[in-house]
Structure 1
């Protein structure tokens, strides 16, 4: 019986993720393998248990910050337009319960 409960608990987040448009768009996008892998790890550690989804604003901020750190600045406009959301929350986003700041370039409008 407990095996059934554990199985159902593990399936609910995945079902929510498969329906979430930002996750579907990321999985279909042509991204560098390393950025895709980092993004998938972010998604798996930041699933909101109640609904089985990930916060799109945090996801986009993480992807932009990761692209910056990897020297993939040319991908930032593509990441920004990949799905509809803001970039974090006033320059911040959560990852695994920790608060991170995203550094904006001189052209701040690039990230809003």
Structure 2
């Protein structure tokens, strides 16, 4: 075995392929958009409890996935209720910042 390995190490240059190896670039995934939101403490607590209690049953990859699914579902609900089920059109402009939630 060692003789075979030594033979391969000392192989002449002509034994190497004449074409350079093609490097395959990994497919780039689109980046997710980070965001900061403020929610009432009781809503946040219940959401975390629901996530922790059901993450396996609901196949949530992580907290971000849970939140993304919740936003997507609310978006679908509003499209069905207010836009005949069609996606909303318009210009995607920055949202104005909201005021902090009151401490009740």
Answer whether TM exceeds 0.5 for this pair. no
TM-score by length of 2: 0.28
TM-score by length of 1: 0.26
Q: Which has the larger radius of gyration?
A: 2
> Which of the pair has the greater relative contact order for Cα pairs under 8 Å at 6+ separation?
1
Q: Which protein has the bigger helix share?
A: 1
Q: Which protein has the bigger strand share?
A: 1
